[in-house]
């Protein structure tokens, strides 16, 4: 990590993994004047104190001068005064930031004067229901309770829940980092953890870092009981304020108000460091496009997102289910039989792989260029092509790596692949027939696994087995590259609806196993992978759209991959063809 003082020169920040919104992301980090600053990536990059709520900025002038000489240079430096400093202290451009803060003097004062009667009654209700709230210890039993609560539902407060799908090891690792400054409070019902608070000590105030309970026990007033115990702990630890995120017109604002929280406005400063930062600051876009939208439009879009999440959750559960007797779908398609039948037909290799004879050379060139960049193969790599088909990716990659082990479970595909390789005199490829869920490769024997357009033909358990198998055969730090179909996309949602309608009128149609972006993220993490990058294609495509129009949109997307607006994370999660590149954590 770089250290600097006010001296001439240019210096480089270093990459650093950090946990943000429940995800491990890579940011740049730099140390200036004894304080660590984090620089995010994106169309507009920001620098801020890494521990913004736990440290006062020592000297904004020194920080500003140092960040201007940092490479990569952030566009805007932002910092906020900490609770309870509400009066502006600096002359930099400033905006008010609104927070939900509870002043804490004594528990008795809070109980009688600050919270509402309704909130007080719910605390009493929790006691009568048998909910016990007490300070807890971060042991295996507590972590197991956290995992159970996290995995109760994929959607909370109308948005995807950050920690849904995480396993025991992941939760224990991620939440043990800051235990040195946290107090744990647990709510127990019949001996089981049903809710908890992780209260962080920020010196002159407490921060509700995690505050969550099981939905099925909400009728017992669990959250109110947790707040009551948190206020008691704040009094005991001499924390005169309790911070509960921001003060916005959300579904939680009434709960905050009834629990005694008040709005506290603190000055946040924005110091543009580049021409782009100055321009977007003047345009009012320095807080992002969402913040610049009118409140009514933001509210409308939130409702749309909430409805969309409910729909995709139902779709994902329905499409991937094989055992629900009330499901109107026919039994899952035997995809091995489909591929064998296709292999016996007089088709070209291109038709066998793509399912169509129509080909556009420019589109192929753009797609191959983007794919090679995404795979990022190295000369020393031993690569496992899991589900190789007729070998199209082998042709592209064989002269970029040391060796390729290719596998497919279709005899027809394996035969076509061997013929194709022999015709081009490729010597560094071995083709096998086998199942990607249980290959015979030795443990830790490959550097890179490539699995393209395979997982939509496997059910959920088979996909999990395949991911575990990929983790087994990869060397520590090895790379997995996946291409999957994304139910979070507009195209596949419309396609799914069309197929449901066809089945309803007894028409024959094939059903793949379609899953959402979030589903794959959770399963990759559970298998021990850290996602490095993801991209998607076919963002704007709809079912039954003319092919000429589809090609035009695809070329546009491919030519602007990594550029605005296709570089935005929201956009990258919404294409129907989704690629992940993930690194295996150390064993």
Q: Comparing 125-129, 427-431, 458-462, which segment has the lowest mean pLDDT?
A: 458-462
Say if residue 458 is in the same domain as residue 524: yes
Residue 254 parent element (H or E): helix 253-258
Residues 181 and 280 in one domain: no
Residue 436, both tokens: 């990607």
* CATH number of the domain bearing residue 435: 3.40.50.150
Give the per-residue pLDDT at 544: 60
| Phi, psi (degrees; rounded to nearest 5) at 448 | -145, 135
> Does residue 211 sit in the same domain as residue 286?
no
Tell me the pLDDT tens digit for each residue of 418-450. 999 999 999 999 999 999 999 989 999 999 999
Phi, psi of 166 (to 5 degrees): -80, 140
Provide the 8-state DSSP code for 111. Answer: I
Based on C-alpha coordinates, what's the Rg of the chain? Answer: 27
Q: How confident is the model at residue 510 (pLDDT cuts 50, 70, 90)?
A: low
Task: Clarify whether residues 70 and 111 are in a common domain.
Answer: no
Comparing C-alpha atoms, which of 450, 534, 530 is closest to residue 489?
534
Is 81 domain-assigned? Answer: no
Is 87 among the domain residues?
A: no
Band of residue 88 on the pLDDT scale cut at 50, 70, 90: very high
Average pLDDT over residues 144-157: 88
Task: Verify that 198 and 67 share a domain, yes or no.
Answer: no
> Which CATH number fits the domain that encloses residue 132?
3.40.630.30
**169, 135: one domain:** yes
CB 165 within 8 A of CB 525: yes
Structure tokens at 472: 């087994």
Mean pLDDT of 68-76: 89
Q: Which residue has the tokens 């309803």?
A: 504
Sign of CA dihedral 5, 11, 17, 20: positive
Q: What is the mean pLDDT of the chain?
A: 83
Same domain, 527 and 388: yes
The answer to whether residue 391 is domain-embedded is yes
Total number of domains in the chain: 3
Domain identity same for 56 and 201? no
How does pLDDT run across 100-118, given as a tens digit for each residue? 999 999 999 999 999 999 9
Q: Tell me what pLDDT residue 164 has.
A: 84
Q: What is the 3-state composition of the chain as percent helix, strand, coil, each rounded to the nearest 5?
A: 40, 25, 35
One domain, residues 240 and 280: no
Q: Kindly state whether residues 183 and 61 are assigned to the same domain.
A: no
| 271 C-beta neighbours (distance < 10 Å), count | 21
Q: Whole-angstrom Cα distance, residue 343 to residue 54?
A: 62
Rounded to the nearest 10°, the torsion over CA 364, 432, 342, 496 is -70
Residues contacting 295, CB < 8 A, separation 6+ = 249
Structure tokens, 257: 């108000």
207 lies in some domain: yes
Which residue range is the domain that position 169 belongs to?
A: 101-266
Gap between the Cα atoms of 229 and 186, Å rounded: 9
Count the Cβ atoms, other than its own, within 10 Å of residue 1: 9
Q: Within a domain: residue 96? A: no
Q: Are strands 474-485 and 577-584 parallel, antiparallel or unpaired?
A: antiparallel
Question: How much of the chain exceeds pLDDT 90, in percent?
Answer: 48
- 256 and 288 fall within a common domain: no
> Looking at the domain assignment, is residue 425 inside a domain?
yes
Cα 567 to Cα 28, 554, 562, 579: the distances in Å are: 18, 15, 5, 14
List the alpha helices (DSSP H) in 283-384: 289-292, 295-320, 335-344, 349-354, 361-375
Q: Is the pTM of this model over 0.75?
A: no
Residue 315 belongs to some domain of the structure: no
pLDDT in tens, 316-371: 444 443 333 333 333 345 666 666 666 666 667 767 666 665 667 777 788 888 88
Asked if residue 325 is part of any domain, the answer here is no
Provide mean pLDDT across the span 59-87.
92
Distance CA 386, CA 407 (A): 5
Residues 347 and 464 in one domain: yes
Q: Is a pLDDT exceeding 70 seen at residue 251? A: no
Query: How far is residue 222's CA from residue 198's CA, in Å, rounded to a whole number?
Result: 15
């Amino acid at each position: 990590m770089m250290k600097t003082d006010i001296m001439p020169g240019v210096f480089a920040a270093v990459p650093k993994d950090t946990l943000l919104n429940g995800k491990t992301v890579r940011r740049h980090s730099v140390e200036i004047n004894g304080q660590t600053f984090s620089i995010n990536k994106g169309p507009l990059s920001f620098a801020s104190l890494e521990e913004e709520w736990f440290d006062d900025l020592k000297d904004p002038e020194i920080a500003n001068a140092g960040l201007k000489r940092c490479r990569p240079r952030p566009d805007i430096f932002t910092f906020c005064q900490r609770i309870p400093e509400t009066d502006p202290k600096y002359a930099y451009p400033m905006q008010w930031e609104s927070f939900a803060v509870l002043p804490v003097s004594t528990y008795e004062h809070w109980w009688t004067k600050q919270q509402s009667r309704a909130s007080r009654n719910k605390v009493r209700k929790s006691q009568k229901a048998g909910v016990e709230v007490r300070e807890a210890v971060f042991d295996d039993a507590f972590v197991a309770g956290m995992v159970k609560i996290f995995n109760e539902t994929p959607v909370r407060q109308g948005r995807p829940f950050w920690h849904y799908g995480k396993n025991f090891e992941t939760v224990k690792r991620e939440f043990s980092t800051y235990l040195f400054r946290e107090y744990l409070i647990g709510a127990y019902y019949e001996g089981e953890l049903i809710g908890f608070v992780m209260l962080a000590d920020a010196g002159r105030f407490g921060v509700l870092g995690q505050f969550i309970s099981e939905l099925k026990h909400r009728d017992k007033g669990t959250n109110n009981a947790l707040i009551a115990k948190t206020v008691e702990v704040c009094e005991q630890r001499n924390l005169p304020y309790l911070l509960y995120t921001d003060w916005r017109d959300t579904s939680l604002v009434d709960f905050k108000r009834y629990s005694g929280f008040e709005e506290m406005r603190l000055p946040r400063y924005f110091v543009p460091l580049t021409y782009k930062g100055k321009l977007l600051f003047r345009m009012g876009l320095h807080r992002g496009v969402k913040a610049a939208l009118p409140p009514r439009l933001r509210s409308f879009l939130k409702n749309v997102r909430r409805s969309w999440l409910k729909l995709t959750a139902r779709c994902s559960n329905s499409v991937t289910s094989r055992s629900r007797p009330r499901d109107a779908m026919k039994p899952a398609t035997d995809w091995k039989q489909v591929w064998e039948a296709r292999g016996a037909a007089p088709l070209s290799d291109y038709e066998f792989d793509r399912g169509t004879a129509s080909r556009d050379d420019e589109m192929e060139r753009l797609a191959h260029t983007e794919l090679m960049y995404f795979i990022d193969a190295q000369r020393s790599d031993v690569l496992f092509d899991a589900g190789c088909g007729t070998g199209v990716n082998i042709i592209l990659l064989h002269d970029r790596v040391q060796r390729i082990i290719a596998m497919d479970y279709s005899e027809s595909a394996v035969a076509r692949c061997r013929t194709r390789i022999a015709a081009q005199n490729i010597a560094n490829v071995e083709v096998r027939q086998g199942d990607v869920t249980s290959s015979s490769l030795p443990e830790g024997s490959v550097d890179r696994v490539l699995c393209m357009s395979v997982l939509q033909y496997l059910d959920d358990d088979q996909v999990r087995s395949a991911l575990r198998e990929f983790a087994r055969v990869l060397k520590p730090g090895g790379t997995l590259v996946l291409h999957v179909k994304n139910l979070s996309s507009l195209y596949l949602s419309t396609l799914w609806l069309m197929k449901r309608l066809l089945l309803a009128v007894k028409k024959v149609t094939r059903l793949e196993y379609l899953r959402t972006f979030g589903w794959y993220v959770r399963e990759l993490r559970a298998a021990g992978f850290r996602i490095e990058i993801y991209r998607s294609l076919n963002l704007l495509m709809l079912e039954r759209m003319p092919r000429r129009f589809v090609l035009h949109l695809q070329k546009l997307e491919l030519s602007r991959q990594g550029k605005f607006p296709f570089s935005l994370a929201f956009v990258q999660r919404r294409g129907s063809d989704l690629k992940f590149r993930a690194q295996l954590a150390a064993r």
